[in-house]
């Protein structure tokens, strides 16, 4: 039910189109925004299939108007000033995700344009909001940009305390902690969630080749495989499980295939050649015993599907995963490959306490969802 039909909520659908995580968190956010106003989406240059997967309706596309989004916002705001009672509020909501970069001088020029345009929108009373992001590390130009951006925002939030501390460090004053949008993912329990009493017969690996796009991978992969080797041995000998390898991001295909080849003689292994879509993700994750990954949204989606997520990460450099799991009190579900040794007992304990962990995760999800809904209601009322 739309709780405030007077609100107009502008949103840009431009993002990475080869990443299931980006698709899902955008879709989740749009589902909630529709409850609080009329959605208007900038769909320029966005693939039709992606818009269809987001569930964008024709009357939600800004392309139905002749004006570009920023001009349209200003025009509609001016019109609203001459209508009594003047209850309409206009919002610009930015896309979620992780913000980090080291731009050159010329790449910094769009940052100035962004500040100028959004300063004008702020003057006209447009409410600028961001949900579900992590920030940093930034170069000096981006630090300055982020501070100025925060001053223009009606609601400036990050999704983990590490990002919040970083924001304060670079000079951002008012920062709210808003949950990652993956916590809000709903799963059809009748269709997908694993039935109690039926133990799953496989674990999942899903990995990127390094901590992030700019990081060296050779030593990282050596540390990662040292731990994965142990998990595979325990899965085969102690848990009697098969191994399924899947991926949510196109660029992970080759590395996941390499993992499959590494273990093809060690365990019963299946490599899913096609990138997961929404339906196949639900089905695969909900029937898994455990899901091991260094991708944040693989871990968060799998816990929403009822599986036990275990992050196999470099805790220092995978800071967005470390931050979100620490904040949720789930840090014991992280294996740190940066340590000198990882004990078998740490891995075996996940199986021993699996039902306790699932109950704790359910409690955490409920709290995160309640917090997000509270913020949405306050912001859009």
CA distance 56 to 44: 13
What is the reported pLDDT for 102? 61
Backbone angles phi, psi at 82, to 5 degrees: -100, 5
Looking up residue 178, the CATH number of its domain turns out to be 3.40.50
Q: Where are the beta strands (DSSP E) in 131-232?
A: 133-138, 157-158, 176-177, 202-206
Check residue 317 and report its DSSP letter: T
Looking up residue 216, the CATH number of its domain turns out to be 3.40.50.2000
Structural domain total, the chain = 2
What is the reported pLDDT for 3? 62
In whole angstroms, how far apart are CA 30 and each of 33, 236, 262? 5, 42, 40
User: CB–CB of 308/347 below 8 Å?
Assistant: no
What is the reported pLDDT for 103? 56
Asked whether residue 73 falls in the same domain as residue 98, the answer is: yes
Question: Does pTM top 0.85 for this prediction?
Answer: yes
Asked whether residue 90 falls in the same domain as residue 235, the answer is: no
Q: Where are the beta strands (DSSP E) in 139-285?
A: 157-158, 176-177, 202-206, 242-245, 269-271
Q: Which of 159, 154, 40 is nearest to 97 (CA)?
A: 159
Give the range of the structural domain holding residue 168, as residue numbers without chain letter: 8-184+366-380
* Burial bucket for residue 361 (CB in 10 Å: 0-12, 13-18, 19+): buried
Asked whether residue 294 falls in the same domain as residue 374, the answer is: no
Residue 330 lies in a domain: yes
What is the reported pLDDT for 194? 59
User: CB–CB of 98/133 below 8 Å?
Assistant: yes
Q: Which of 74, 88, 91, 107 is nearest to 12 (CA)?
A: 91
Q: What is the pLDDT along the chain (381 residues), one digit of tens a residue?
A: 566 668 999 999 998 889 999 999 999 999 999 999 999 999 999 999 999 999 999 999 999 898 999 999 999 999 988 876 678 899 999 999 888 766 555 566 788 899 999 999 999 999 999 998 999 888 888 899 999 999 999 999 999 999 999 999 999 999 999 999 999 999 887 766 655 556 799 999 999 998 866 556 778 999 999 999 999 999 999 999 999 999 999 999 999 999 999 999 999 999 999 999 999 999 999 999 999 999 999 999 999 999 999 999 999 989 999 999 999 999 999 999 988 788 999 999 999 999 999 999 999 999 999 999 999 999 998
Q: Which pair of structure tokens corresponds to residue 238?
A: 């102690």
Residue 190 lies in a domain: no
What is the reported pLDDT for 105? 58
For 307, other C-beta atoms within 10 Å of its C-beta total 26
CA distance 12 to 40: 9
Residue 193 lies in a domain: no
For tokens 């080869």, what's the residue?
18
């Amino acid at each position: 039910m739309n709780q405030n039909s007077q609100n107009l909520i502008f949103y840009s659908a431009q993002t990475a189109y080869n990443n299931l995580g980006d698709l899902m968190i955008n879709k989740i956010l749009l589902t909630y925004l529709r409850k609080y106003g009329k959605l208007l989406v900038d769909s320029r240059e966005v693939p039709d299939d992606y818009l269809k997967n987001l569930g964008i309706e024709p009357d939600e596309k800004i392309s139905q108007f002749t004006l570009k989004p920023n001009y349209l916002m200003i025009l509609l705001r001016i019109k609203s000033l001459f209508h009594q009672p003047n209850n309409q509020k206009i919002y610009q909501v930015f896309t979620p995700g992780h913000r980090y970069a080291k731009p050159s001088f010329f790449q910094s020029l769009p940052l100035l344009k962004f500040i100028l345009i959004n300063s004008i929108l702020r003057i006209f009373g447009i409410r600028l909001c961001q949900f579900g992001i992590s920030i940093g590390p930034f170069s000096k130009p981006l630090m300055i940009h982020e501070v100025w951006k925060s001053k223009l925002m009606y609601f400036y939030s990050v999704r983990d305390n590490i990002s919040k501390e970083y924001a304060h460090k670079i000079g951002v004053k008012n920062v709210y902690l808003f949950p990652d949008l993956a916590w809000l993912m709903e799963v059809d329990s009748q269709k997908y969630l694993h039935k109690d009493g039926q133990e799953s017969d496989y674990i999942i690996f899903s990995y990127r080749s390094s901590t992030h796009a700019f990081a060296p991978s050779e030593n990282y992969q050596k540390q990662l495989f040292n731990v994965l080797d142990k998990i595979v041995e325990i899965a085969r000998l102690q848990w009697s499980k098969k191994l399924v390898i899947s991926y949510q991001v196109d660029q992970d295909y080759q590395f996941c295939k390499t993992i499959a080849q590494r273990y093809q003689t060690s365990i019963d292994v299946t490599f899913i050649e096609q990138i997961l879509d929404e339906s196949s993700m639900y089905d695969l994750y909900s029937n898994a015993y455990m899901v091991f990954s260094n991708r944040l949204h693989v871990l968060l989606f799998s816990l929403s599907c009822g599986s036990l997520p275990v992050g196999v990460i470099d805790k220092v450099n995978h800071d967005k995963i470390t931050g979100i799991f620490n904040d949720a009190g789930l840090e014991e579900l992280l294996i740190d490959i940066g340590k000198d040794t990882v004990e078998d007992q740490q891995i075996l304990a996940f199986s021993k306490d699996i039902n306790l962990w699932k109950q704790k995760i359910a409690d955490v999800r409920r709290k995160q969802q309640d917090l997000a809904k509270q913020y949405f209601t306050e912001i859009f009322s």
